[in-house]
Amino acid sequence: MKKIMFNDQYGLTQAVLEGRKTQTRRIAYQEPFKYNCNSGFYTEGKDKGKLTINDGNEIVAKSTYKIGEVVAVAQRYEDIPMEPSIRTILCKHPGWNNKMFVTSKTMPHQIKIINIRVQRLQDISTDDCMDEGIFRSHIDGIDDAYSYDATDDSFAKKRWYRTPIEAYKMLSCKLHLHWDSNPLVFVYDFVLVK
């Protein structure tokens, strides 16, 4: 089983575990000189899961995940409830503080990939922003306010935006997706299965 990591600094792993985040974008291809190229994504056949450009003449990337695949949600061992005897052993493991080093089979939560598509980063819809974990709140004097930061910081410290797309644009920049270069991204829709 593969694993997938979500950013904890902005509460994205928690958003997945709460069911608020059901979509993620990962850079598929980013080369400025091919910005206006035609692109496609094979959903069947021998090239299934591959991204092509220039009307299918050049395969440039392959999706990390497949539709129907179950993937472990990476968490630091420190954040996972476990027996004290196991905690004593794992507290010396590099995965205790860094989920890059955890194994997928030890993760208590998994997601199932239910759809994959390719699009330019800036083509995200308002609904997709909400599926990415952007959340809405009401602030005095403002009908709707949107934020990407779901951490436990105080309400006043959060950055609020007028639209979900503005909030997602700021999140994508913080996650190094390079909004302004508008790369091709794989869009993974998923459901929490455990």
- The 10s digit of each residue's pLDDT in 22-58 is 999 998 865 644 545 555 666 666 666 666 655 555 5
Residue type, 20: R
Short-list 64, 25, 26, 59, CA closest to 42: 59
Q: Where are the domains of the chain?
A: 3-192
* Cα 173 to Cα 180: distance, rounded to the nearest angstrom: 9
Cβ distance 3 to 73 under 8 Å? yes
pLDDT the model gives residue 107: 94
Average pLDDT in the 77-106 region? 90
Contacts of 83 (CB under 8 A, 6+ apart): none
CA–CA dist 157, 37 (Å, integer) = 41
CATH level 2 (architecture), domain 3-192: Roll (3.10)
Average pLDDT value for residue range 125-139: 87
Mean pLDDT, range 136-149, rounded to an integer: 72
Lay out the sheet containing 50-53: strands in order across: 39-41, 50-53, 58-62
